[in-house]
Amino acid sequence: MRYLIISDIHSNLAAFEAVLADAGPFDKVWCLGDVVGYGPDPNECVERLRDLPHICVVGNHDWAALGKMDTEDFNPDAKRACLWTREQLSPSNLEYLETLPKSLVEEDFTLVHGSPRQPIWEYILNPAIAQANFEHFDTRFCFVGHTHVPVIYRDHPNQAGETMIPSYGSPLALGEDRLIINPGSVGQPRDGDPRASYAILDSDRERSDLTLEYRRIPYPIETTQARMVESGLPVRLIMRLAYGW
Ligand code: ZN
């Protein structure tokens, strides 16, 4: 099986379409949440995802759009975008987001948005936080999103976990170690590179032979920005897409 691993689409349809066009054939999408929030096309992104064979876990922005949590913890721009998103979403798409679980287990992989310890909220920002999370899932690997930064953490019991910065375009053998893997963000990268980030998991191999390929691709950022201007979304959110921050 070839899986398309995506996270944090954030209502950015132009970025999502670019990823789908670049990915080549795949059997299924594994989506790590935050399908909506920030961007201009919440309904279109949910519907595009729903039309694909996929599984998806819920993210904090999906929850916020459902009104399941207080937006007081959001910064003012995120809050404004969240309230706008809530107004836009069709009843059917809200219902779909409502069905999303906080975590899923597929083959050797646990899927969550934030962290296995706190699926909705925790940011795995460094090796120490990653290391503390390895005891909170039972599978060999865990996919996370939420930070919008592509990275892999390797389990090193009794010491700080090791960080691996992915290289793009060449498949990486996942090997025998336990890993926490973040594919980066489709719709709002925050590592200084504005291109959409995603990964392809190829499990058509022996168990010890799984490969993951990170990819980074440009998309028409100005299309998304123009749609955001039309919708009156906050200027800071429009600008940041160009900087990948
Ligand atoms: Zn996000």
Instruction: Give residue-wise pLDDT tens across range 6-15.
Output: 999 999 999 9
Cα–Cα distance for residue pair 174/63, rounded to 1 Å: 32
Residue 29, H or E segment:
strand 28-31
How many CB atoms are closer than 10 A to CB 162? Answer: 15
Per-residue model confidence (pLDDT) at position 243: 95
Q: How far is the CA of 205 from the centre of ligand 1 (A)?
A: 31
Q: How far is the CA of 10 from the centre of ligand 1 (A)?
A: 7
122-179 residue pLDDT tens: 999 999 999 999 999 999 999 999 999 999 999 988 777 678 888 998 999 998 899 9
Per-residue model confidence (pLDDT) at position 199: 98
**C-beta of residue 27 within 8 angstroms of C-beta of residue 14:** no
Cα–Cα distance for residue pair 136/70, rounded to 1 Å: 26
Residue 154, H or E segment:
strand 151-154
pTM score, whole prediction = 0.96
Q: How far is the CA of 148 from the centre of ligand 1 (A)?
A: 6
179-203 residue pLDDT tens: 999 999 999 999 999 999 999 999 8
- The CATH superfamily of 2-240 is Metallo-dependent phosphatases (3.60.21.10)
94-122 residue pLDDT tens: 999 999 999 999 989 999 999 999 999 99
Q: CA of 64: how far to CAs of 45, 71, 84, 235, 237, in Å?
A: 16, 7, 11, 21, 17
Q: Which residue has the tokens 């962290």?
A: 115
**C-beta of residue 136 within 8 angstroms of C-beta of residue 116:** yes
Q: How far is the CA of 188 from the centre of ligand 1 (A)?
A: 8
Q: How far is the CA of 147 from the centre of ligand 1 (A)?
A: 7
Cα–Cα distance for residue pair 33/217, rounded to 1 Å: 20
Q: Supply the DSSP symbol for 182.
A: E
Q: How far is the CA of 145 from the centre of ligand 1 (A)?
A: 7
The secondary structure of the chain in percent helix, strand, coil, rounded to multiples of 5, reads 35, 20, 45
Cα–Cα distance for residue pair 118/123, rounded to 1 Å: 9
Q: How far is the CA of 34 from the centre of ligand 1 (A)?
A: 5
Q: Supply the DSSP symbol for 168.
A: B
**C-beta of residue 127 within 8 angstroms of C-beta of residue 134:** no
Report residue 73's pLDDT band, with 50, 70 and 90 as the boundaries. confident
Q: How far is the CA of 154 from the centre of ligand 1 (A)?
A: 23
Cα–Cα distance for residue pair 156/130, rounded to 1 Å: 10
Report residue 70's pLDDT band, with 50, 70 and 90 as the boundaries. confident
Q: How far is the CA of 13 from the centre of ligand 1 (A)?
A: 15
Q: How far is the CA of 158 from the centre of ligand 1 (A)?
A: 30
